[in-house]
Structure formats: C-alpha cells, structure tokens
Chains A and B, each alone.
Chain A
Amino acid sequence: MSVAAKHGETCRAGTRGSGSTWAGRSMRRVEDPALVAGRGRFSADLAATHWVRFVRSHVAAGRIMAIRRPPGAHVVTAAELASVKPINPMLHRFGYVPVGQPVLADGEVRFVGEPIAAVVAASPGQAEDVADEVVVEIAETAPVVDARQALAAGAPLVHAGAAGNVIVNAEFETAGFTAACEGRRLVSVAVRSRRQSALPLEPRAGHAAFDPASGRVTLTCSTQMPHLMRTAIADLLAMREQDLHVVAPDVGGGFGQKMSLAPEYVVLVWLARALGSVVAWTEDRRENLIASYHSRDQTIGLEGAFDADARLVALSADVTANVGAYSCFPTTGAVEPLMALFELPGPYDVRAYRCQARGVLTHTCPMAPYRGVSRPVMTLAMERLMDRAARELGLDPVEIRRRNLIDTFPYVSATGLTFDDASYRRTMEIAVEAVDLAAFRRRQSAARRDGQFLGIGFATFSERTGYGTPAFAARGMDVTLGWETVEITMDPSGFVEARIGASPHGQGLRTTLTQIIADEIGIAPEQIRVVHGDTDRTPYGFGTFASRSLVIAGGASLMAARKVRAKLVAVASHLLEAAAADIVLAAGVATVAGTDRSMPIETLARAAYHQIQRFKGEIAPGLSESATYDPPGTFSNACHVAIVEVDPETGAAAVEKFLVAEDAGRIINPMIVDGQIHGGVAQGIGNALLEEIIYDDTGNIRTTTLADYLPPTCREIPPIEIHHLETLSETSITGAKGVGEGGAIGAPAAVINAINDAISPFGASIDEMPATPQRICAALRAAARESR
C-alpha cells in the first residue's frame, strides 16, 4: 500500500495501537529547549584534573627509534601499555586478514597522525606545550598511499601478515554468468570517489573519571555506541566490564565517524585507573581531520550487459576500497567493500551478477563507516552506468531506469537479499513530474544558445535500513549488531521512563520514540521521558547507525509499550469491573467503551504498585516491561534530481535546485524526516563538489584545516524540495523504514549525472567525485583534445 503526500502536508496511512494521536505529527523536539539555551551537555564541557595531549606520527611509515621526553614530563608510550591488547576486530569470511592496532604505536608507525604517546599535564595548554617538546625519532620507510600503489607487485607491506596489502577479498558470481553476457551490448564505467571525512562539528572528546569508592571508571565520550565501547575497552584493558561505566551525553554529530572505537578513549580509561584520577582529552580539528576516521576512498569498475530492450541482464563489478592502515572496531575495514558486494545492483532487476570486492591497506588514516557507507559510491557507479547506457542506446535516462527498476515484491536479489514493498518506479515518476523534465529540456536548450550550460541528473536508489542480526552475520562479523532492547517503566505517579540501548546524536529519537509510546499507552508526550547514552541506566544495545534506530529501537519501544498497555488494561479491567476487551486507554484515561465509567491512568499506575491485593493474584506488581526487536531489515527508496549549472571557463558547478521523492514507509515525525533528508543531501552535495582529504606522495596529509577541507556552507546548498510516499512494510512493526542515510546516498550521483548532462555539448564526461573545478576543466580539456 502506498499513499502519496505533498511536501509539507501530513498524510498518514495505517494506525496502530490506540490510534495515531502523536505519530504522524511534526511534534516539536523534546531535545531542543536545552540545546537552544546553551544547556546541552557535551563531553568537552566537563572539568578534569589531568589533561591529555597525544603526540602523533609525523610520517606515514617507519620504525620508532627513540622517544625523548622533556625532563619531568609525564609521558605514556606503548612500553607503559604493554598489558593492553591491540584493537583487532575479526571477520570470519572472505579471506579477512586480522591486523591489530596498538592503542599507542608500538615500534612501527603506519599513518600520519597515529598516536604514539600520551602527555599528561594539569591543563590542556600545558599538555600541548609539553607534547611539542617530545621528540620522536622515526626511521622512515617507503609508504604506500593509494590502493593501486599498494596492490602493485613488490609494494611495501603495511602489515607483514597481510600479503599484497589485501585485508579482504570477496568474490561472488551467479551461475551461468558468462553465458548471460553473450551477444549483449556491453557498457562500462569506472568511477572513483576520493577520500572524505564525515566531519561531525563536535570533535571527539573523552573524560575518564576514576571513583575510588567503587573502583569504577566513568568514561564520558562522544560516541554513537556506548555499550559496545564499554565491552571493547574492558576487553582491551582486561578489566571487568562492570567496572566501566560509559556515558554518551549530548553528541555533536557522528555520521558514522563516532561509531568506531577510538584508541584514544582506551588510553584515557587506562590513565584514569593508573592515576586514580580524572583525565580528559578533547581533539582539535587538525587531529579530527588527520586521525579520526576517513571514508569513501573507493574505485568501482562496472560492465553492464544490456539486451535489445535496454534491460540490464548481467552486471560485472570490480570494487577496490582503500581502507587505510588499520581495521576499525566493530565493523572492520571490510565494511565498504563487503557492502558493495552484497548491495551493488541496488534497485535494478539484474539476475546475472559477478563482483570482486577488495579492501586494501595503505599508510593512511583508517577507514570507517560514514553515512551511507559504500552506497553513495555504489549509487554513483550504477547511476553513471545507466546514464551512459541510455546515451549509447539512444534512450532517455528516465526511460532506461523505467525499464530496469524492480517493480514486483518481495524481490529476491542476485545476492539473496529480499527487497520488501517499495516504490522505486513511482518515486521516479513523481520526481520527473515535479521537476517538469520537458520544461527543463526547453530551458536547457535555450540556455545553451546563450552560452549557459545547465544539466539535470537523476539518481534512483535503495537504502537498506533497520537490518537485524542476519545481515551482520552474513558478513561474518564477530559482533552482529542487530537487535535493540527498550525497557519501559510507568512509575506510581503514571510517568513513563523509556530506557533505550540506541544512542541518538541529533536525530531527535527521544521525540519520535515519545510519539510512538504516547500513542500506544494513551498518555501525553509530557508524561514520557526517553533515557539513552548511559550504560548504567539503559539496557545493552548497539547504538545509533545504519538508519536503524527508529525501525529497531522504535519497534522495541512499540512492543514494550504494548506490554505496559496490556497490563494497564488488565488493572483497569479489575478496578472498573469490565472485560479487558472493553477498556480503552486514551488521553491519560481508561474508559469502559460505551459507558461513562472511567479512571485516570495515574490511578491505575498507583494501584499497580500499592493496591495489588485488589487483583486476586492475577497481576504481578509494578509496571515495568521490556522488549527486544531484531527485524529482518527493510529497504527505503528515493529518486533524487539535481539541476546544476557549469561554467566551462572556470569549471565551477553550482547546484541550482534539488528535488527528492522518497519513501521511508510510515512517517512518525514529518519535520524530523525532512531534516534528515536535508542534512544528508547537503553532505552528498559536499561529497560531489567540494570535500576531499588529500595526501601527497609521501603520505603526508595536506587537508588539515577547514580552509583546506571544504564542507558546504548555506551558499552551496540550494532549496531542497521533498515529496513523500509511505509504502508500509510488514518487515517493520511500526511501518517505519530508516531515513538517516538516504540523502547522502543519492545526492552525489544526481549531482555528478547533472554535471555530465551540462558538459555533454563539449563531448566531455566526468566519473569522479568531488567534481572540483580543476577536474571539470580537465575533463573539458581532454574532450577538446580528443575532438581535435
């Protein structure tokens, strides 16, 4: 079932529980009043007695010969941390080679920015002063910086155990692949995404406080997964997990960068225990750019075999991801290539598929997931292939997609993924109509005559969201990050506390879960508080990433709220002397349907704790319930359209208009959904045009400030028009699908396709992002040379 809604209107399909009073509304966020008043609490806001500054490698590869400390300085190195295990996540498939990362470099350094020593002082300024005086002598060796270099025969090895610098090599081929290609029209494309940073505006920060009374340490840090940080750090330090309390307070954006274990946090906990003190570190922006995780450094070569009707009958892919010097915990450095292997065909119906996906180690900052992970690059590759095939086969880009998009459900893909109900074709048709493609083509022709080069680009894609344990198990992961638990307690006053293992950091999840729970129990949102980000207060869970939280934590919230509701109904049935089936809970009151008999829910709550003798032993005391949800996963989908203008003199591309027709299932809060799309699209436009981490040939990083690494400002982001569909899926019990990553997945491909459309009169094309002015000029020059 699918319901169309115009932008800005609310149009709800399907209600659950006691009725949708709150879900479906653009309810104001409960997170906001504190944040706009400057009363947010971020990790760097806490005071400490000891401050840490990390001394980092200034070279890409080499052996540490000596570390000279200034007299009297407190400097900790790998020698002091001999008992601390290295970070070494594991995959049990695809020839994965484990490569350990010592939390402080032990003997060898493998990237510029790798932490070598921790300086401890009484203030951040003093720690920085002392760190400047620590001298590290390194005997440099030849680095490998890009993946091609690392794969060359005889290339220096980043880790002795990883032959050929390959950390993972996954291959997949459907039966009869070669036969499927015979006699077909072959179209190929090779795309490259340069390295990018998720760049949360709040840099990482950690604060580890030892409590002498209990012997425990409280680590407050800017993380997306507090429970997993607790497990991982306790493992590495061989301490009891019970002795570590991790708090993620307000977190200033993460986008994936803060879901990986930072070695720096391990050092902080070690120091807090060693000193019996309170130890803190706040990363500066340079550290964030050189030593927090990078992403998206990938090349994808595709060859598509098309039949006479322009249907894609076979797809061959070669994926190479530069994963940097180490493997991030918990996803490992294999996360980008393996996601590409499983999901590359995207929303297109192609039965014959072959893929080789490799993760390649280099002497660069390690890679970790960033909003969309591999999908922005996969989508760029598939959407360039579709546009190129359309041109070569003489079809309109929309028409070729129309012929190839999945349109019957459930659809089982070539790699065995089950696509649930979605609206791939309908979202595209809505986008085509909304953007008025015919009118644009007329405007484009007229503009070309005036020497103005406009282009339009489409990107259709699927976004796998809210996936549970099996998806992670299929990758062979040691940690299968699938499920979430929610505990809901109504106290004797009738106030509800929901404790969640998910760990939002800007997504407004406290608001959306409040809406779900309010509807299910029949109370006002003001009567609910959602608690997260504290391992002492919340049930174990994996955190917030992979467009999962509203689907999985939202599903668990609904399930736990249903249990609380059932218990309240049972209590009401006793106190109001009516059949449970006749009890209605709404607006804070239990009513016997069709009568004027009613009782406030708070009276039921009080009785559930203080008057249990009235229930004849049929109802257990209290109102505390818990539920765990581990769904199979669902696919959101969207069509993005970009209109750009390219100045052929300067190579500058400007996005004039951006349109999204999306379907993420049932919308709980339209305002928040639109906000997620806006933010993702802006990051995608940044990825497409501006953002690039640049290393020189020696492995030194050149983009170390925000004057070099360029996230977009409001001048680069045009108005974004959004159209919604709501296809409900049986695979999500709330009906909601994930929407966190989609904006970032589709936007790069739409923008790059639009640039190609704009420069097509010159016979030029570009398959690389970011499409900087220099690269666009180079593409135009190359085309001019060819035509001569």
Chain B
Amino acid sequence: MSSKIDVTLTINGRAHRIRVEPRRTLADAIREDCGQTGTHLGCEHGVCGACTVLVDGEPVRSCLMFAVQAQGNPIRTVEGLASGAEFHPLQRAFMEHHGLQCGFCTPGFLMLATGVLEREPDISDADLIDILASNLCRCTGYQNIVKAVRAAAAEMRQSRQTAS
C-alpha cells in the first residue's frame, strides 16, 4: 500500500485537512474523507457525470481527478448550492419542473448546469442540450431536466438584469 500524504481540500468554503493515498480520487475524498456524500458515483469512469463538482468554477468529473490535484482550488458541491435556507434557482427549478425522480444523478446535473450558466448565462438552447448530454439520467427521459435548466437560466438572467 502506498504511503499517505496530507492534502487540504476547500469544499464550499470550508477547509478539510485530510490524509490520503496519492491515488485517492477527488470523488472518494469528498465523500469518504470529507463526509460530503451528496456527490454520487455512478460509473467511476467519467461517462455518467453523477460525480460532477465545480473545481475553480469549472465542472469536472470528480471520479477522474485525484484529490491532490484539487489542492489549492476552490471546490463546490451540491451541499454548497443553497444559500442557507434559500435554494439556488436551479434547485428550485428542478423541483418545480419535476427534473428529478430517484435523485441519484441530480447533484451532478445541478453542478454541471451551475458551472455552465455562471460561465455562459446566455447560452443557446442547442448549446445547452449539447452540454447537458455530458451527464446521464435513467429516470426522467431528460425532458424536465432540460425544461428546469432553461427556466433557471431565464430566472438567473432576469435577476442579473434587475441587479444591474
């Protein structure tokens, strides 16, 4: 067994000092060493996207990244999406538009969509479909996920305009 190393992961603004093997994936570190089990593992080979988190604002497959690689970069997971008791517009839209059934893929879709809409708030419908095709859902047939993300995007644009 390889020796362990010290790593500090900053998840949703909180520093987690952990000691892990160099081979530890970011996903396993987030779930098992930092106790944030909202991030799920569906394939562990980078296809399904259930483990998507934001590293430095970019959506990444946390199953394809080592924990050590994320050191020094802010990590955001589904647990950090709401502001206190206030749900994020995407979380609200997923509930309003029935964008989830079993809920297993949901954290990955929420983080993927958050990353994309923060970077590209005016993304076209066609480009949005391309991006959302990065992740798999087996329950919803995607109809309401697409609807929810579009609704949240519109709401986020609106509130940005109101603010500016």
- Chain A residues in contact with chain B, CB under 8 A? 26, 28-29, 31-33, 35-40, 42, 44-45, 47, 125-126, 129, 199-203, 250-253, 255, 282, 284-285, 505-508, 671-672, 674-675, 677-683, 705-707, 711, 713-715, 717, 719-720, 743
From A36, A671, A674, A711, contact of B138 by CB (8 A): A711
- B26 in the interface (beta carbon within 8 A): no
CB-based contact A38/B133 at 8 Å: no
**B 116-150 contacts with A by CB, 8 A:** 129-130, 132-146
- B154 in the interface (beta carbon within 8 A): no
- B1 in the interface (beta carbon within 8 A): yes
From A674, A680, A681, contact of B98 by CB (8 A): A674
Alpha-carbon gap, A42 to B36, bound state (A): 12
What are the residues of chain A within 8 A of B39 when measuring CB–CB? 38
Alpha-carbon gap, A508 to B99, bound state (A): 12
> Assuming the A-B contacts A45-B37, A507-B101, are A201 and B82 also in contact, with contact meaning beta carbons closer than 8 angstroms in the complex?
no
CB-based contact B146/A714 at 8 Å: yes
Q: What 1/0 mask marks residues of chain B from 61 to 96 whose CB sits below 8 Å from any chain A CB? A: 000000000000000011101100001000100111
What are the residues of chain B within 8 A of A251 when measuring CB–CB? 102
Alpha-carbon gap, A672 to B98, bound state (A): 7
Q: Could you list some 30 contacts between A and B, CB below 8 A?
A: A32-B94, A32-B95, A36-B87, A36-B94, A36-B95, A36-B110, A37-B79, A38-B37, A38-B81, A42-B40, A45-B37, A125-B21, A200-B138, A201-B50, A201-B102, A201-B104, A201-B139, A252-B103, A253-B102, A506-B102, A506-B103, A675-B140, A678-B141, A679-B140, A682-B142, A707-B47, A713-B133, A713-B134, A713-B136, A717-B141
Alpha-carbon gap, A507 to B74, bound state (A): 35
From A36, A45, A201, contact of B48 by CB (8 A): A201
What are the residues of chain A within 8 A of B145 when measuring CB–CB? 714
What are the residues of chain B within 8 A of A682 when measuring CB–CB? 140-142
CB-based contact A285/B95 at 8 Å: no
Q: Taking the nearest CB of chain A, how far is it from the CB of B27, in angstroms?
A: 11
What are the residues of chain B within 8 A of A680 when measuring CB–CB? 141
Q: Taking the nearest CB of chain B, how far is it from the CB of A728, in angstroms?
A: 25
CB-based contact B45/A705 at 8 Å: yes
CB-based contact A29/B98 at 8 Å: yes
What are the residues of chain B within 8 A of A37 when measuring CB–CB? 38, 78-79, 81-82, 87, 91
Q: Taking the nearest CB of chain A, how far is it from the CB of B105, in angstroms?
A: 5
What are the residues of chain A within 8 A of B146 when measuring CB–CB? 714
CB-based contact B43/A38 at 8 Å: no
CB-based contact A284/B44 at 8 Å: yes
A-B residue pairs, 8 tightest by C-beta: A38-B38, A252-B104, A506-B102, A35-B103, A682-B141, A678-B141, A38-B78, A714-B142
CB-based contact B45/A285 at 8 Å: yes
CB-based contact B98/A675 at 8 Å: yes
- B57 in the interface (beta carbon within 8 A): no
CB-based contact A706/B136 at 8 Å: yes
Q: Taking the nearest CB of chain B, how far is it from the CB of A68, in angstroms?
A: 20
> Assuming the A-B contacts A252-B102, A285-B45, are A28 and B140 also in contact, with contact meaning beta carbons closer than 8 angstroms in the complex?
no
Alpha-carbon gap, A560 to B50, bound state (A): 39
Alpha-carbon gap, A28 to B77, bound state (A): 24
CB-based contact A253/B47 at 8 Å: no
Q: Taking the nearest CB of chain B, how far is it from the CB of A452, in angstroms?
A: 20
- B106 in the interface (beta carbon within 8 A): yes
Name 16 extra pairs, CB < 8 A, besides A671-B98, A679-B139, A707-B45: A28-B96, A31-B103, A32-B103, A36-B94, A37-B82, A37-B91, A38-B37, A38-B107, A40-B38, A201-B42, A202-B102, A252-B42, A677-B141, A683-B141, A713-B133, A717-B142
CB-based contact B130/A36 at 8 Å: no
For A709, give the chain B residue with the smallest CB separation: B47
- Chain B residues in contact with chain A, CB under 8 A? 1, 21, 23, 31-32, 36-45, 47-48, 50, 77-79, 81-82, 87, 91, 94-96, 98, 100-107, 110, 129-130, 132-146
What are the residues of chain B within 8 A of A40 when measuring CB–CB? 38, 103-104
What are the residues of chain A within 8 A of B91 when measuring CB–CB? 36-37
Alpha-carbon gap, A129 to B31, bound state (A): 20
CB-based contact B129/A714 at 8 Å: yes
Alpha-carbon gap, A38 to B110, bound state (A): 10
Alpha-carbon gap, A428 to B79, bound state (A): 46
> Assuming the A-B contacts A37-B79, A126-B1, are A285 and B132 also in contact, with contact meaning beta carbons closer than 8 angstroms in the complex?
no
What are the residues of chain B within 8 A of A717 when measuring CB–CB? 141-143
For A719, give the chain B residue with the smallest CB separation: B143
Q: Taking the nearest CB of chain B, how far is it from the CB of A551, in angstroms?
A: 19
What are the residues of chain A within 8 A of B101 when measuring CB–CB? 253, 506-508, 675, 679
Alpha-carbon gap, A129 to B133, bound state (A): 34
CB-based contact B43/A706 at 8 Å: yes
For A504, give the chain B residue with the smallest CB separation: B102
What are the residues of chain B within 8 A of A32 when measuring CB–CB? 94-95, 100, 103
What are the residues of chain B within 8 A of A671 when measuring CB–CB? 98
Alpha-carbon gap, A20 to B72, bound state (A): 56
What are the residues of chain A within 8 A of B136 when measuring CB–CB? 201, 706, 711, 713
Alpha-carbon gap, A508 to B102, bound state (A): 8
Alpha-carbon gap, A42 to B105, bound state (A): 12
For B128, give the chain A residue with the smallest CB separation: A714
For A720, give the chain B residue with the smallest CB separation: B143
For B50, give the chain A residue with the smallest CB separation: A201
For B90, give the chain A residue with the smallest CB separation: A36
CB-based contact A202/B129 at 8 Å: no
What are the residues of chain B within 8 A of A202 when measuring CB–CB? 40, 42, 102, 104
Q: Taking the nearest CB of chain A, how far is it from the CB of B159, in angstroms?
A: 19
CB-based contact B102/A678 at 8 Å: no
Alpha-carbon gap, A671 to B50, bound state (A): 24
Alpha-carbon gap, A717 to B147, bound state (A): 13
For B87, give the chain A residue with the smallest CB separation: A36
Q: Taking the nearest CB of chain A, how far is it from the CB of B52, in angstroms?
A: 12
What are the residues of chain A within 8 A of B94 when measuring CB–CB? 32, 36
From B129, B138, B141, contact of A253 by CB (8 A): B138
Alpha-carbon gap, A705 to B43, bound state (A): 8
Alpha-carbon gap, A388 to B104, bound state (A): 42
What are the residues of chain A within 8 A of B78 when measuring CB–CB? 36-38
CB-based contact B44/A250 at 8 Å: no
Alpha-carbon gap, A568 to B102, bound state (A): 35
What are the residues of chain A within 8 A of B144 when measuring CB–CB? 675, 678
For A672, give the chain B residue with the smallest CB separation: B98
Alpha-carbon gap, A239 to B18, bound state (A): 41
Q: Taking the nearest CB of chain B, how far is it from the CB of A665, in angstroms?
A: 20
What are the residues of chain A within 8 A of B103 when measuring CB–CB? 31-32, 35-36, 40, 250, 252, 506
What are the residues of chain A within 8 A of B110 when measuring CB–CB? 36
